[in-house]
Structure 1
Amino acid sequence: MKPIDIFKALANETRLQILEWLKEPEKHFSPQPGEVSDFQKAGVCVSQFHEKLNVTQSTASQHLSILYRAGLVTVKRHGKWTYYKRNEEAFHQLKEMIGHEI
């Protein structure tokens, strides 16, 4: 996790919105199919982001990929679907880094 990658990822309003939604996904997204219905376990499907952001699935995937490369979200595959969750440990480390180094 490189700080510059994290700050670049956070420097975009859409990505900040995604992270805010992922903090409490049950408040911001409709229920998902059976085996992945638990947001806390599975995360949120990329298709739900593209609908909520009103962008193409490709654009939503790009934003999520940047957040993933920065270490701010985790990814799980269920069949052909990709699900994203906030990486709370990364946020804890970021808070510690800012408090001690910056």
Structure 2
Amino acid sequence: MFSEAELLAVFRALSNPTRRQMLVWLKDPMGFPGQEPGDVEIGVCVTDIQQRVGLGQSTTSQYLAMLRQVGLVVATRRGKWTYYRRDEANIARLLETLRDVF
């Protein structure tokens, strides 16, 4: 169960429509151009997310870092590239907490 402080941090992260959209897009990693079926396990490269969202690299990375800090995405480093995928187990735990609280 998420604590009250954790819920507040999640709500803060999700208050931004672009961060919410990134989370929705990551639900379908194969929807990103150039994704290979084997890529799904590690996620989507931050460069591909950046191109889709149309923001600068720094802003995109900050948005993804915030989603990672609250446990909604997982980052995997491969060489100089960082890949992001949804943390489905933690998202399920969040939804369970919301059902219990509300």
TM-based fold match above 0.5: yes
Residues 26-58 of structure 1: CA deviation (Å, up to 9, x unaligned): 12x0124xxx76232110011111111111100
| Aligned-residue CA RMSD (Å) | 1.4
CA–CA distance in 2 between the matches of 1:17 and 1:38?
A: 23
Q: Deviation per CA, 1:3-46, whole angstroms, max 9, x where unpaired?
A: 1111111111001110110001112x0124xxx76232110011
The TM-score with structure 1 as length reference comes to 0.89
* 3-state SS of paired residue (1:38): helix
Residue in 2 that maps onto 1:45? 45
**Take 2:85 and 2:60, find their aligned partners in 1: how far apart are those partners?**
14
| Distance in 2 between residues matched to 1:39 and 1:14, nearest whole Å | 23
Quick check: 1:82 aligned with 2:85? Answer: no
Aligned residues: 98
Query: Counterpart of 2:18 in structure 1: which amino acid?
Result: T
Unaligned runs of 5+ in 1: none
Q: TM-score, normalised on structure 2?
A: 0.89
SS where residue 71 of structure 2 aligns? coil
1:14 & 1:39 partners in 2: Cα distance? 23
Identity %: 40
Q: CA deviation at 1:67?
A: 0.2
List alignment gaps of at least 5 residues for structure 2: none
Whether the aligned pair in 2 keeps the contact of 1:31 and 1:37 (CA below 8 Å) is no
Work out the CA distance in 1 between the residues paired with 2:90 and 2:40: 16
SS of aligned partner of 2:26: helix
Q: Deviations over 1:48-89 (max 9, x none)?
A: 111111111001001000000010000100001000000001
